[in-house]
Amino acid sequence: GFRMGIVGLPNVGKSTLFNALTRTAAAQAANFPFCTIEPNVGDVAVPDSRLETLAGIAKSRQVIPTRMTFVDIAGLVKGASKGEGLGNQFLANIREVDAIAHVLRCFEDGDVTHVEGRIDPVADAETIETELMIADIESIERRLQNIVRKVRGGDKEAVQQERLMKLALEALEAGRPARTVEVDAEDAKAWRMLQLLTTKPVLYVCNVAESDAGAGNALSEAVAKMAAEQGNAHVVISARIEEEIAQLDPEEAEMFLGEMGLEEPGLDRLIRAGYTLLNLETYFTVGPKEARAWTIPAGTLAPQAAGVIHGDFEKGFIRAETISYDDYVAHGGEQGAKDAGRMRAEGKAYTVRDGDVLHFLFNT
């Protein structure tokens, strides 16, 4: 599956957020730096109202959302790349995620210590980005030395790697994260294989006080401005509120949200923003037994989309009977869409679209 790493300085609300996301007390929140030591991993259902709608039409007995993984990565402090705090341990954890949710403290609270002794989320973002850039520089320098001999020997792969690493190094040394480097399509794979920390897409999560959950505040606005300048995404949420909502049953949660003047839990926005950040899309399989959502990267062809369900579906793929979500709803389900000529038979070259309701035919 796809993994989002939750990073941020100590005491910004990472564990609180992670707890709310996973509805467990597995990652204990505490007002103490370096409290969470092991990376905590949790699978989260991706909220999608279309799935409920489809299940309602098909009278599906079971509704199965698609899932995304969140990893609570603690230990990031100033000097982490030099072994401060939990040291380099967190770097390995970040390397393994597909994208970064960077939690920034946008709430004031005299009782909660800030490691740097001031509330400044933009400066915090820079502190962490700098640590990641230093880590990238060090790993590139190490790797450049390791491939010297191969490059001299004319090893094509090594030559390409060296060229890309030097490109990244140039940006990093000028103070720019590696994600600002544009690479050609033929270099894209080798570039990804470098697994640099600062090429991972970033979503800033502004953790605001309960009272600012709706409109945000001056601090979250400063983050929004920074994010826009960098071309990164951001969401405003109150981890405290999310923690409370996570403990309520759905009806109570609805009422609570209404009282707070909120339309939906902030976590739903966060998860969807992560989904968008990772360039993911959803297709559905719908029947009386179950309605189920499946995750694919945007641009996935029908056989590979089928492969997400089962490898045999991909191997023996014949065709995909396809109804768009809108047609499925407009014509009252599969039979209606079929009668209206809105069911298409798509072959191996079909690029699955977000919201497609699919039925795969395959050889066994």
**Residue closer to ligand GDP (CB basis): 238 or 300:** 238
102 binds ligand GDP, rule: CB under 6 A:
no
- Report the C-alpha gap between 334 and 95 in whole angstroms: 43
14 marked as binding residue: yes
Any contact of residue 107 with ligand GDP (CB under 6 A)?
yes
Q: Could you tell me how many residues of this chain bind ligand GDP (CB under 6 A)?
A: 21
- Is 42 annotated among the ligand-binding residues? no
* Residue in 2, 5, 7, 16 binding ligand GDP, rule: CB under 6 A: 16
| List 38, 43, 96, 109, residue binding ligand GDP (CB under 6 A) | 109
Does 31 help bind ligand GDP (rule: CB under 6 A)? yes
Residue partners of 125: CB distance under 8 A and separation at least 6? 102, 104, 204, 223, 226
Helix, strand, coil % in the chain, rounded to nearest 5: 45, 20, 35
By CB under 6 A, tell whether 119 contacts ligand GDP.
no
Was 60 annotated as part of a binding site?
A: no
- 44 known ligand binder: no
Closest CA to 96 of 189, 179, 4, 177: 4
Helix, coil or strand: residue 210: helix
In angstroms, rounded to a whole number, what is the distance separating the alpha carbons of residues 140 and 130? 15
Q: Tell me the CA distances in angstroms from 156 to 40, 150, 151, 167, one per residue in order.
A: 40, 9, 8, 17
Q: Name residue, tokens 């401060």.
A: 84
Provide the residue type at 145 as one letter.
Q
Interacting residue with ligand GDP among 2, 4, 7, 13 (CB under 6 A) = 13
Determine the residue type at 279.
N
SS3 291: strand
Q: By C-beta, is 86 or 168 nearer to ligand GDP?
A: 86
Asked if 322 interacts with ligand GDP (CB under 6 A), we say: no
Verify binding: residue 81, ligand GDP, rule CB under 6 A.
no
How far apart are CB 25 and ligand GDP at their closest, in Å? 12
Our finding on whether 239 is near ligand GDP (CB under 6 A) is yes
By CB under 6 A, tell whether 14 contacts ligand GDP. Answer: yes
d(CA 63, CA 286) in angstroms, rounded, equals 9
41 binds ligand GDP (CB under 6 A): no
Site stretch for ligand GDP (CB under 6 A), options 30-38, 85-93, 184-192, 267-275: 30-38
Task: Output the six-digit token pair for 11.
Answer: 């005491």
Contact 4, 28 (CB under 8 A): no
Residue count of the chain: 364
Tell whether residue 227 is a contact of ligand GDP (CB under 6 A).
no
For residues 22 and 207, which CB has a smaller minimum distance to ligand GDP in the complex? 207
Sign of the CA dihedral running 131, 133, 138, 142:
positive
Per-residue binding letters, 258-297, with ligand GDP (x by CB under 6 A): ----------------------------------------
29 contacts ligand GDP (rule: CB under 6 A): yes
2, 5, 15, 203: which one binds ligand GDP (CB under 6 A): 15
Site residues (CB under 6 A) for ligand GDP, limited to 137-156: none
Between CA 203 and CA 14 the distance in angstroms is 14
DSSP-derived secondary structure for 323-338: E-HHHHHHTTSHHHHH
What are the phi and psi torsion angles at 361 (to 5°)?
-110, 135
271: closest CA among 82, 58, 2? 2
Nearer to ligand GDP, 12 or 323 (CB): 12
Binding site for ligand GDP (CB under 6 A): 8, 10-16, 29-31, 35-36, 107, 109, 112, 207, 209, 238-240
